[in-house]
Structure 1
Amino acid sequence: MYPIHEPLQSGLLRVSDIHQIYWERSGNPNGKAVIFLHGGPGGGATAECRGFFDPDRYHIIIIDQRGCGRSLPYACIDDNTTWDLVADIEKVRNLLGIEQWQVFGGSWGSTLALAYAITHPQRVRELVLRGIFLCRPSELAWANQAGANAFFPEAWQDYLAPIPVHKRHDLISAYHELLCNPNTDETQCLQAARAWAQWESHIVHLHPNDEAVAVYNDAKAALAIARIENHYFAHRGWLSGEFALLNHVAKIRHIPTIIVQGRYDMCTPMHTAWELHQALPQSTLVVTIAGHSAFEPENKQALIAATDQFAA
């Protein structure tokens, strides 16, 4: 990956009466603008995310979406929807005076990138998408009800543990009671957050990654990704029916797009990337021998090749 430089500027932008989102810019302020959209939802961004872009050629903008990372208030799900986040991206673009930019997003970040591009196609120069996720019921069920559990049965038992047997027929709803109900006992809520976040950490890597799982031994660190993800999943990402993303991709068929997808992605299986590629005939689909994480070697290589190609 490219060298990680400190931000040129960073701050908090008030985007609602409740929320302030963290933003930063690094690299070359006269270079090609790109915005990095992290996953989750609720995952937050890290300094390492700057490494996907040549700092001599890119003006790199990174944000933490509502309620996560360095944004305030932490783990807050009030006024926190897909369309709020789309509006926030526009507010950051206006703040920085950027006319057009490349949009780079993986996992949930690919969902948000598509929602933004469909809403503001005139603002998007290129799309780099990884680990494609469209927030459809079948995709949510794969990761959170039945599908990935067949490959990780031992980790699945820990995911089931906080949920009473009679509620396990709808795990997203059962977790919603524990994570999003203000009347839930704090200890129960944090136990559920840890279980949710650690389950996801098990399935995003091709090879076991105990360090990534151990990050969420700290249940408060797990709270944002668990609560915000569950909040979005319980509402199907506000992307069902007339707002389903594939229904509107004709609006972005003119935008150069590179899709990077791990062949053995157990979090967002490859068939969704294939469907998106078929719907966007101008796109390039790069299939890697990798899992879901952007930081797996083949995924990193393909993503950097994509940003290098578009930097030209």
Structure 2
Amino acid sequence: MLPGLYPRSPPCRSHALAVSHGHVLHAEESGTSAGLCALVLHGGPGSGCSPLLRRFFDPARYRVISLDQRGAGLSRPRGATAHNRTADLLEDLLRLRAQLGVPRWLVVGGSWGATLALAYAGVEPQAVAGLLLRSVFLPCSAQIASFFQDTAGRAPAAWARFAALAPAGQRHDMLGFLARNLQQQPGGDAQRRLALAWWRWEQALTRGSAAPLADPAPEPEGADLDALVDRYRVQSHYLLQRCWLDAPPLPDRLAALPQVPTLLLHARDDRICDPQGARVVHARIPHSWLRWIDGAGHDPAHPAMAAAMVAALDHYAVHGDFGDGLPR
């Protein structure tokens, strides 16, 4: 049980959204149909929506729409990389809003979901009522390389175990090594070993520098491990291309964002999404607020981060803005 979050509850309705090239997306609604509409964008890419992400919202005040992006979660075909690029995801969001008849929505995203939220707000600004961005990720070569090569020396022993899976001559390009092997079909034990090693490395970085994960997950196995292979297949596909957001770079696109309430929440000790990325985004959005969360790392369930998310959303539901983004 995570304190401070709203109770876990099942979605009240689900949707199958047929989009281009045979993809069928899974979307869920929770909360109240009469509430403020909020779109939740999950991380990854490829992770799929977690029930945790709905628990930041007061179900009596919000109509929460959670979408599994192409290849992710319960969307089909799971793990597919064909016709799966950022431009496709943006088209999907336009279609989802039209199908559900939503005039405007608050857009909430974490990590890659925050990145996608920024890109979406630039292409459909009239539909965005506000932006709540947790642990924003800038998909640039330096940040991606830092994750896979541990150029900052954040966890050298854990990285050595991770890199040991690759032949010595390929350890300088762990992302390329993982992508080549995860793209092979059909999957098998070798892919499962790679996915589990990637997951362990990610877990080592997710916690803050001094704090354990708030709710550590058991190591995936069986069907969960097969889903992890698919998740990382999609993620490596995106990261190899810097998520198709480097020409022009994402910060150069932010001038097109609407002047709506915009709050960034980021941990100073986030070892997956460099805090400098939050500073860059904040500087490019003059009307935005940036709040630092101490000790949360990259863990969305860390009590301090969860409390900040709940406080911001509660304030928005009453006042139409995020206040100072801090819990009371």
> Percent sequence identity over matched residues?
36
Partner Cα separation in structure 2 for residue 89 and residue 270 of structure 1:
27
Counterpart residue number, 1:270: 275
* Amino acid corresponding to residue 201 of structure 2 in structure 1: W
* Amino acid corresponding to residue 190 of structure 1 in structure 2: R
User: Which residue of 156, 181, 201 corresponds with 1:178?
Assistant: 181
Partner Cα separation in structure 1 for residue 239 and residue 314 of structure 2:
34
* Amino acid corresponding to residue 191 of structure 2 in structure 1: C
The worse-fitting range, judged by mean Cα deviation, of 206-215 and 159-168 is: 206-215
Count matched residues: 309
Partner Cα separation in structure 2 for residue 5 and residue 186 of structure 1:
35
Contact 1:50 1:60 survives alignment (8 Å): yes
> Per residue, is there more helix in 1 or in 2?
1
Long gaps (5+) in structure 1: none
Counterpart residue number, 1:95: 99
Partner Cα separation in structure 2 for residue 168 and residue 6 of structure 1:
43
Q: Does 1:225 align with 2:231?
A: yes
User: Which residue of 150, 158, 163 corresponds with 2:161?
Assistant: 158
Partner Cα separation in structure 1 for residue 187 and residue 99 of structure 2:
40
Partner Cα separation in structure 2 for residue 121 and residue 185 of structure 1:
40
Contact 1:202 1:213 survives alignment (8 Å): no
User: Which residue of 253, 256, 262 corresponds with 1:257?
Assistant: 262
Partner Cα separation in structure 2 for residue 223 and residue 211 of structure 1:
20
How far is the alpha carbon of 1:192 from its aligned partner?
A: 1.4
How far is the alpha carbon of 1:36 from its aligned partner?
A: 0.6
Give deviations 1:89-142, integer Å, cap 9, x for gaps.
Answer: 112111110010000000000111011111111110000001110211111011
Partner Cα separation in structure 2 for residue 28 and residue 260 of structure 1:
26
The alignment's TM-score, normalised by the length of structure 2, stands at 0.89
Counterpart residue number, 1:86: 90
1:35-50 pair list within 5 angstroms = 35-50=39-54
Q: Does 1:140 align with 2:144?
A: yes
Q: Residue 80 of structure 1: SS of its match in structure 2?
A: coil
The worse-fitting range, judged by mean Cα deviation, of 233-242 and 247-256 is: 247-256
How far is the alpha carbon of 1:213 from its aligned partner?
A: 5.7
Counterpart residue number, 1:198: 200
Q: Residue 220 of structure 2: SS of its match in structure 1?
A: helix
How far is the alpha carbon of 1:190 from its aligned partner?
A: 2.1
Counterpart residue number, 1:239: 245
